[in-house]
Amino acid sequence: MLQTPSLSIIVAVYNGEQFLAQFFDNIIQQTLTHFEMIVVNDGSTDKSAEIIESYRSSFETFRVFTIENQGVSAARNHGLSQATGKYLAFPDIDDNIHPGMYQKLLEMAETNSLDVATCNGRYVYEDSDKSKIIFPPERLSSTEVLSGDVWLKQALESRKFLHVTWLNIYNHDFIRRHNFSFEPGLRHQDIPWTTEILLAADRVQYTSDIFYDYLIHSNSVSHKTDGDATEVRSAHHYMKILRMLDDINHRYPEKVAKVPACKWQIAKEGLGILHTVDKIKDPALKKKLVEEIFQQGIWSLMWRNANTFRLRWRLGRRYFKLRKLISG
């Protein structure tokens, strides 16, 4: 009988030729046994396919799928549908994974029957020696096993929590049981994904050990800009995220009642949309976006969920400026 892989490492690749060698070398240095490497080539047009193939012999189980370009969520979902491992990981190819990361998370998960095992990381800045710890230890320290909502409460209240998949491994049966998947075509889809997973999870554990370097660089989709068009697209993505977070809160009312920050984060992410409005230079585009914010109920959603005096004050001081923009 074939042994079930301990871990399925699922990675989406789109035009990643400059990062792939380091990424695969990072995985090799994990010295994992009985795991599967699942690579989803999301319609790359560079030499990614050739580099991927050159690493096939480096892994015991190396599965490659090529799909038409549909974005990271669709690629992850495709990999998820093919995965057979007991646990799942979703690293990004342009980051640095420290040796021992997956061994440590698997040990935590197996020892304590976790739904989610998670660790700390660093922001590393391109062309700079600067780095910054993602979760400062004085804000978030290692935990025992917690229910997901308790961990989410602690994490959000630290005001330093980052909604990402790549610091975590997930119990595959837990993901199957809840039929979780990534939202196709949505940038920053990790925000609703992480929120719902933690509200649903019964057993979560965090180690403050730093195992992952998140590279902030100019080639990242998250950090590219092409002016007003980018800002408007970003605002539309975040408007959808706010609606998704609101739907999630309604699916888990008892747990959300114990985690006030679930509402706080809707208003907080909404403030990000208002900052995006400020960046738009074209008056007509700016006016249209503000009209959408009111007409589609986004403003009401932000205001209803602004559950602190500071948030209400920050939103309130913007209200009349926004109304003036669309009445002129």
pLDDT of residue 328: 65
The torsion of the CA quartet 233, 236, 238, 242, rounded to 10 degrees, works out to: -170
Give the domain-ending residue among 222, 253, 283.
222
CB-based burial of residue 228 (10 Å sphere; 0-12 exposed, 13-18 middle, 19+ buried)? middle
CA nearest neighbour of 305 among 255, 251, 247: 247
Residue 69 maps to a domain: yes
For the cut 60, the answer to whether the pLDDT of residue 225 exceeds it is no
For the cut 70, the answer to whether the pLDDT of residue 220 exceeds it is no
31: number of Cβ within 10 Å:
10
For the cut 80, the answer to whether the pLDDT of residue 38 exceeds it is yes
How far apart are the C-alpha atoms of 93 and 19, rounded to whole Å? 6
Are 58 and 28 a contacting pair, CB within 8 Å?
Answer: yes
Quote the tokens at residue 17.
């030729």
pLDDT of residue 3: 86
For residues 218 and 266, state if they share a domain.
no
179 residue type, one letter: N
pLDDT of residue 130: 86
Higher pLDDT among residues 113 and 225, named by residue: 113
DSSP E strand boundaries for 78-199: 87-89, 96-97, 116-125, 131-133, 168-171
Give the domain-ending residue among 188, 222, 256.
222
Picking from 32-36, 215-219, 294-298, 309-313, which range would have the lowest pLDDT averaged per residue? 215-219
Residue 58 maps to a domain: yes
For residues 262 and 197, state if they share a domain.
no
Query: Count of domains in the chain?
Result: 2
CA nearest neighbour of 27 among 40, 10, 46, 2: 10
Give the domain-ending residue among 222, 239, 262.
222
Residue 244 maps to a domain: yes
pLDDT digits (tens, 9 = 90+) for 67-78: 999 999 999 999
For residues 143 and 53, state if they share a domain.
yes
Residue 214 maps to a domain: yes
For residues 169 and 276, state if they share a domain.
no
pLDDT digits (tens, 9 = 90+) for 272-301: 999 999 999 999 999 999 999 999 999 999
As a whole number, mean pLDDT of residues 226-231 equals 89
Give me the residue label for tokens 């994490």.
155
Residue 141 maps to a domain: yes
pLDDT of residue 184: 96
As a whole number, mean pLDDT of residues 144-173 equals 96
Q: How many residues does the chain have?
A: 328
For residues 217 and 229, state if they share a domain.
no
Residue 2 maps to a domain: no
Domain, as residue range, for 240: 225-327
For residues 178 and 253, state if they share a domain.
no
For residues 64 and 130, state if they share a domain.
yes
For all residues of the chain together, what is the average pLDDT?
A: 94
Band of pLDDT at residue 324, cut at 50, 70 and 90: very high
pLDDT digits (tens, 9 = 90+) for 77-111: 999 999 999 999 999 999 999 999 999 999 999 99
Band of pLDDT at residue 192, cut at 50, 70 and 90: very high
How far apart are the C-alpha atoms of 325 and 328, rounded to whole Å? 6
For residues 205 and 232, state if they share a domain.
no
Higher pLDDT among residues 53 and 326, named by residue: 53
For residues 218 and 104, state if they share a domain.
yes
Give me the residue label for tokens 């739907």.
247
As a whole number, mean pLDDT of residues 32-58 equals 97
Residue 195 maps to a domain: yes
For the cut 80, the answer to whether the pLDDT of residue 145 exceeds it is yes
Are 201 and 170 a contacting pair, CB within 8 Å?
Answer: no
CA nearest neighbour of 51 among 69, 60, 64, 35: 64
For residues 236 and 259, state if they share a domain.
yes
How far apart are the C-alpha atoms of 290 and 95, rounded to whole Å? 36
For the cut 60, the answer to whether the pLDDT of residue 221 exceeds it is no
For residues 23 and 158, state if they share a domain.
yes
For residues 80 and 201, state if they share a domain.
yes
As a whole number, mean pLDDT of residues 185-202 equals 97
CB-side neighbour CA atoms (13 Å) of 136: 7
- Write the CATH number for 159: 3.90.550.10
| Model pTM score | 0.93
pLDDT of residue 219: 54
Quote the tokens at residue 252.
């888990």
Residue 1 maps to a domain: no
Are 104 and 195 a contacting pair, CB within 8 Å?
Answer: no
pLDDT of residue 129: 78
Are 132 and 235 a contacting pair, CB within 8 Å?
Answer: no
